[in-house]
Amino acid sequence: RTQTVFGVGDRQAEWFVVGEAPGEQEDKRGEPFVGRAGQLLDSMLRALGLSRETVYIANVLKSRPPGNRDPKPHEVEACLPYLQRQIALVRPKLILCVGRIAAQNLLGTEAALAKLRGQVHVLPPFGIPVIVTYHPAYLLRSPGEKRKAWADLLRAREVLRGHGA
């Protein structure tokens, strides 16, 4: 890694986005989601009337895994306390987890993404609702899934407004 990539955004944000790990661009710039996937994330946020400045964005891993490989369990173990502390300090009203790796590690489950989507999880010990959706890098490869991602985002907004299931 070149540097740690800690997080960006409003420290009093209502929305907290959790991704997997920094990629090459993020490692260079020291900021999460600044590459192509980040541009799509920005558009998704914009469609909800949000921006990088009004939400908080962080990853499970704070350092780029070599060649963007999946995080190793000991890497997750080393980084997760930082994410937990970020969540504790920001105290968002809603957490949006993008992708399987982020969701599984934050929620402590091995369930498939298809199972994790479409329900409202609650993150202990904070009691914060968590919505899981596709990773924007996946949506770049499979644009046909964007409709489902949009449905997830609308559900997240409903939950935040207190009308969600």
What is the smallest separation between the CB atom of 61 and ligand URA, expressed in angstroms? 8
Site membership for ligand URA, residue 133 (CB under 6 A): no
Q: Which of residues 50-69 bind ligand URA (CB under 6 A)?
A: 59
Is residue 20 at the binding interface for ligand URA, with CB under 6 A as the rule?
yes
Structure tokens given for 57: 């964005």
Please state the closest distance from residue 27 (CB atom) to ligand URA, in A: 9
Q: Using CB under 6 A, which of 33, 56, 134, 138 touches ligand URA?
A: 33
What's the rounded Cα separation, in Å, for the pair 164 and 119? 10
Q: Look at strands 121-123 and 128-133 and give their pairing.
A: antiparallel
Q: Minimal distance in Å, beta carbon 22 to ligand URA?
A: 5
| Amino acid at residue number 162 | G
Judging by beta carbons within 10 Å of its beta carbon (0-12, 13-18, 19+), is residue 124 exposed, middle or buried?
Answer: exposed
User: Would strands 121-123 and 94-98 be described as parallel, antiparallel, or unpaired?
Assistant: unpaired
Regarding 23 and contact with ligand URA (CB under 6 A), the answer is: yes
- The residue among 143 and 161 lying less far from ligand URA, judged by its C-beta, is 143
Strand, coil or helix: what is 98? strand
Radius of gyration of the chain from Cα atoms? 14
Total interface residues for ligand URA by CB under 6 A: 13
Residue 22 within binding range of ligand URA, rule CB under 6 A: yes
Q: Which residue is nearest to ligand URA (CB)?
A: 19
Interaction of residue 106 with ligand URA, rule CB under 6 A: no
User: Do you know the residue count of the chain?
Assistant: 165
Rounded Cα–Cα distance for residues 72 and 82 (Å) = 16
Site for ligand URA, rule CB under 6 A:
19-23, 26, 32-33, 35, 37-38, 59, 137
